[in-house]
Amino acid sequence: MTSQTQTSKVAIVTGASGGIGAAIAERLARDGFTVVVNYAGNAAPAEALVARIEAAGGRAVTAQADISNADAVRRMFDSAETAFGGVDVLINNAGIMNLATIAESDDALFDRQIAVNLKGTFNTLREAAKRLRDGGRIVNFSSSVVGMLQPGYGVYAATKAAVEAMTSILAKELRGRNITVNAVAPGPTATKLFLDGKPQEVIDRLAKLAPLERLGQPEDSAATVAFLVGPDGAWINGQTLRANGGII
C-alpha cells in the first residue's frame, strides 16, 4: 500500500508518451505519484498512456510542451501547479539521437540535439530549481555512450556529458532544500529510438555486449528511477547511475 505522503506527490516526466518515458510514467503511477505525461507533438500515444494509467487506478494527465522552448516548459510547470498545487519530481527523459561522425555532422544535426538534449534539459532544470517543492527529486537522463565513446556518437555523447555535469552542479546549488539531483545512464535499450534502422545482426551484437547478455528493457530504467525518487534513494545525490547491465 502506498503511503498518503507519497500519493500526494506530483511528477513531471518529459518525453513520456513512449519507450523509457512511458515505462517511467506507469511505474511512478503504480508507486502512487500523480504523473504529468509530457509529449512534444503527437497527443495520441500520451492520451493512451494516461488512459492505461487511470484504468489501473493511477492518476495522470497529458501536457504538451516542446522542452526546447523555454516558454512552453514554463507553461507546463504553471499548469501542473494550478492543477495539483505544486511539483515534487522532475524526470528529464525526453531526448533525440541522430548519429554521424563529427566530420559528417551538419549544422542541423548539431543544433537539434543541442536544442532538445541540452537546452531542453536546461529549461526544465531551471524551472525545477525555482519551483520544486522542498524534499523533491530530479532525475536526468544521460547515456552510457558517455563512457563508451563510440565513433558516430560525438554530438549525442557531448550533449549527455553536459547533462551529467549539470546534474552534479545543480545538486550542490540546491543545498538546504532536501532535493536530490541524479542522472540515469542506460545502455542499449529495446526502444523504438534504439531499434529503428538497425539490422538484426547489429542488435544481436549489441545485446551481447553486457555481461548479462541482453538488451536493457524500458522497465529496467523505470525501476532505477523509482529507486531514486523513492524513500530508499534519499541518500543518493549528484550521481550518475549507469544502469546498463555492466556494459562499462
Question: What are the pLDDT digits (tens) for 42-89?
Answer: 999 999 999 999 999 999 999 999 999 999 999 999 999 999 999 999
pLDDT at site 234:
98
pLDDT at site 193:
75
Question: What are the pLDDT digits (tens) for 207-225?
Answer: 999 999 999 999 999 999 9
- Where residue 7 falls among pLDDT bands split at 50, 70, 90? low
How much of the chain, in percent, has pLDDT values that exceed 70?
97
Question: What are the pLDDT digits (tens) for 100-110?
Answer: 999 999 999 99
Catalytic residue among 127, 156, 240, 242: 156
pLDDT at site 192:
85
Q: What is the mean pLDDT of residues 146-159?
A: 97
How much of the chain, in percent, has pLDDT values that exceed 90?
93
Q: What is the mean pLDDT of the chain?
A: 95
pLDDT at site 8:
78
Question: What are the pLDDT digits (tens) for 109-137?
Answer: 999 999 999 999 999 999 999 999 999 99
Q: Is the pLDDT of residue 242 over 70?
A: yes
Closest CA to 11 of 84, 116, 96: 84
Q: Look up 156 and say whether it is catalytic.
A: yes
Question: What are the pLDDT digits (tens) for 14-31?
Answer: 999 999 999 999 999 999
DSSP the chain: ---HHHHT-EEEETTTTSHHHHHHHHHHHHTT-EEEEEESS-HHHHHHHHHHHHHTT-EEEEEE--TT-HHHHHHHHHHHHHHHS---EEEE---------TTT--HHHHHHHIIIIIIHHHHHHHHHHHHSPTT-EEEEE--THHHH--TT-HHHHHHHHHHHHHHHHHHHHTTTTT-EEEEE---SB-SHHHHTT--HHHHHHHHTTSTT-S-B-HHHHHHHHHHHHSGGGTT--S-EE--STT--
Q: Model-level pTM?
A: 0.95
More confident residue, 238 or 4: 238
Place of cell 530508499: 232
pLDDT at site 3:
36
Which domains can be identified in the chain, with CATH numbers? 4-187+218-241 (3.40.50.720)
Q: What is the mean pLDDT of residues 151-158?
A: 98
